[in-house]
Structure 1
Amino acid sequence: MTEFAAVADVAGVFEHFGARAIGTHSCYQWSLVFRAERDGAAVVLKRTADRIAEWCHRLDAQGIPVVVPVDVAEVDGKRWVVYPWIDGRRYDGSLADVTAAGDLLGRIHAVGGTELKPFTWPVYEPGEPAKDLPELREKFGEHAPEHLDAIMDRLVPLGERFERTTLPAIRDAGLPVVDATVDYKANNLVFTDEGPVLIDPDNGECLPRVLDLALAALMFHMEDIPGRPFTGEEWIAFRDAYLAHVELSEAEVAAWPDAVDYMLWEFGTWAMADSSEWHVPRQRSFLIGLAQVRADDLPV
């Protein structure tokens, strides 16, 4: 189980930026994200990637509500960023919030750009993805035995064909690419009176935009309410708000089933296998639902 990183382990980073930690550990289990105070202002100190700060400034210049860095530096060979703390509320699960989130993703994709790090496609030996199936069977057998047959009916064919059909179909389709978050989830947004603000752009890469949309469609409720993937009504609200800003090409629409399958296998099964929150009812329910999502549930 991954431990929350300690402030003491990165004391030199706080010293470099002249920031004072608020608390003793990272506020997120899976990455280095620290609340802090700097020059009397509340800030967030975290690891980031190359070109993310510049991308945030480009989005901001286009009127996109995104957290904008106040400082960026290399410390001990690692890239760190200081963001202002954004006041607001968490996602409330309402259709209004779903719609606003879809609208924001559409606006981000409409800005376009291809300046972030290129998306890296996996390379698999024949049959390699299917080797993960026994672990997934064991995980769901332990935590959700009543759903095991339905889940494996979805995951087994996906894993067995992934490197032969799904991967080349989406990789070689020549789809439009954009700079995108590759982590567009409810818990990465803060809702203000003016609408949602993207507060975690730091996984951003340049990738086929339909993959980023598919990831949001699948994972938007990960680690947040209401403990399940989108309902049909929620997805339509999110999708239609997104499509107000982006017109998907015929090739993207045709590739949508492969995009959903790709992201479910590459990103979704990682969440299923590595989750440390199976004991949390909300997260258990989400993962059970995620494992059974099909492209037909998320029409474009």
Structure 2
Amino acid sequence: MLSGSKVLKQFGFQTEEEPNSIYPFSPVYRVKKQDKEYIVKKTQKPIERAERLIHYTKMLKESGIAVVTPVHLQNENPQTIDEDVYIVYPFIDGKPYTGTEDEIFQAGKLLGEIHRVSPKENNYQLPGYEVFDFTKEEVEESVQKINTVANKVNVTIDHEKLKEKLLTIVAQQEELKEGNLSYIATPHDFKANNLIYNDTPYLIDPDNASWVPKIFDLALVLLLFHNEHSTAPDVIFTPRQWGTFLSGYEVSSSLTETDKANWTKALEHVFLDEVMWLLAECEEDWFNPAQVTLFSSLLELLFDTSAYPLTISS
């Protein structure tokens, strides 16, 4: 297993002890050199893909978007280390998201600005969204896992209802794929834990940047904006908060009528893609009461999305 100290040494950072990752699911190291602090983390691989990501984030920054870009070092940045690619960003000091109306509005405004400056074509050759191949077997296996782990923590789930709903979503994925949706370049991981606030938000993790349907990006926000964030509410946005987010978003960006018409199907599909996996594979989350509360709100949304329309003016 690659040691953190080896990674840091490759970038010119010396450490006497093995560093601890500040993120439990991937190596992310916070280091200090002289009077400056940095974040060292994995990014897209291979190196050619990482370079395209950097071209995209530099475009965002030059367009006035508050987003991290690689720092200038004497050593190469980014670098391939063993089979992965690592990058060094500046550490951004500020306050975490807490769920206030202004924070939500400002987050929506930032995402709208990111969408506004997206090129009309995938000029940065970011990874394209291609996950339209879910199967009945995948759903049945996932629902069984969800039911098993929910029972372990005494949470009751109508797993037959869940399976029926998810199978309906599988059946409509081809229609969605051919639905002539608007695609955009976007960080596609726009969540509270990737934002730091100094009055307005700063995006500190753009490394999942992809070429995706615009409404998929918005759906991911609605579903998982509060996921894995200790100072965020332990439920999804309320309908009022969702309206606040959209009011910020529409300052800079809008949607086509085709996008709006496909919103519910898009929301359901992103649930299938992102949330089904989360519920089925992250068993440790079910032992966290805050995550279980979030999961319950996600399931409620899946069965009734009517309170969460895309009320964005043309």
**TM-score, length-normalised on structure 2?**
0.86
Question: What secondary structure is seen at the aligned counterpart in 2 of 1:36?
Answer: strand
Residue 252 of structure 1 is matched in structure 2 by 259
Question: What secondary structure is seen at the aligned counterpart in 2 of 1:29?
Answer: coil
Q: Which moved more, 1:134-143 or 1:168-177?
A: 134-143
Unpaired runs of 5+ residues, structure 2, are 72-76
Q: CA–CA distance in 2 between the matches of 1:138 and 1:53?
A: 42
Question: What secondary structure is seen at the aligned counterpart in 1 of 2:211?
Answer: strand
Query: Within 5 A, what are the aligned runs for 1:13-162?
Result: 13-20=7-14, 24-38=19-33, 40-49=35-44, 50=49, 51-70=52-71, 71-113=77-119, 114=122, 115=124, 116-143=126-153, 145-146=155-156, 148-149=157-158, 153=161, 155-162=162-169
Post-superposition Cα deviations, 1:70-94, rounded to whole Å, max 9, x if no partner, equal 1322222422110000010000111
How many correspondences in the alignment? 289
Q: CA–CA distance in 1 between the matches of 2:115 and 2:276?
A: 25
Report whether the alignment pairs 1:232 with 2:227. Answer: no
Q: CA–CA distance in 2 between the matches of 1:124 and 1:142?
A: 27
| Contact 2:186–2:210 (8 Å) recurs in 1 | yes
| Contact 1:20–1:36 (8 Å) recurs in 2 | no
Question: What secondary structure is seen at the aligned counterpart in 2 of 1:68?
Answer: coil
Residue 211 of structure 1 is matched in structure 2 by 216
Post-superposition Cα deviations, 1:50-87, rounded to whole Å, max 9, x if no partner, equal 22222110100000000111132222242211000001
Query: Within 5 A, what are the aligned runs for 1:151-230?
Result: 153=161, 155-165=162-172, 167-193=173-199, 195-224=200-229, 225-230=232-237
Question: What secondary structure is seen at the aligned counterpart in 2 of 1:291?
Answer: helix
Residue 286 of structure 2 is matched in structure 1 by 278
Post-superposition Cα deviations, 1:93-147, rounded to whole Å, max 9, x if no partner, equal 111111111111111111113221212324344544333221122233333534x
Question: What secondary structure is seen at the aligned counterpart in 2 of 1:259?
Answer: helix
Q: CA–CA distance in 2 between the matches of 1:296 and 1:11?
A: 50
Task: Report the CA distance shift for 1:236/1:144 in structure 2 as closer, same or farther (over 3 A).
Answer: farther
State the shift of 1:208 in Å. 0.6
Question: What secondary structure is seen at the aligned counterpart in 2 of 1:190?
Answer: strand
Residue 74 of structure 2 is matched in structure 1 by none
Task: Report the CA distance shift for 1:214/1:124 in structure 2 as closer, same or farther (over 3 A).
Answer: closer
| Contact 2:101–2:241 (8 Å) recurs in 1 | yes
Question: What secondary structure is seen at the aligned counterpart in 2 of 1:297?
Answer: coil
State the shift of 1:33 in Å. 0.9
Q: CA–CA distance in 1 between the matches of 2:224 and 2:99?
A: 14
RMSD: 2.0
Q: CA–CA distance in 2 between the matches of 1:231 and 1:125?
A: 31
| Contact 1:25–1:34 (8 Å) recurs in 2 | yes
Could you tell me the percent identity over the aligned residues? 28
Q: CA–CA distance in 2 between the matches of 1:171 and 1:158?
A: 19
| Contact 1:268–1:291 (8 Å) recurs in 2 | no
Task: Report the CA distance shift for 1:40/1:77 in structure 2 as closer, same or farther (over 3 A).
Answer: farther
Q: CA–CA distance in 1 between the matches of 2:85 and 2:251?
A: 35
State the shift of 1:41 in Å. 1.5
Q: CA–CA distance in 1 between the matches of 2:141 and 2:118?
A: 37
Residue 3 of structure 1 is matched in structure 2 by none
Post-superposition Cα deviations, 1:10-45, rounded to whole Å, max 9, x if no partner, equal 433211100245872211111121111245410000
Post-superposition Cα deviations, 1:200-257, rounded to whole Å, max 9, x if no partner, equal 1111111111101100111101012210001011000001211221111010001101
Question: What secondary structure is seen at the aligned counterpart in 2 of 1:45?
Answer: strand
Question: What secondary structure is seen at the aligned counterpart in 1 of 2:197?
Answer: strand
State the shift of 1:157 in Å. 2.4
| Contact 1:185–1:219 (8 Å) recurs in 2 | yes
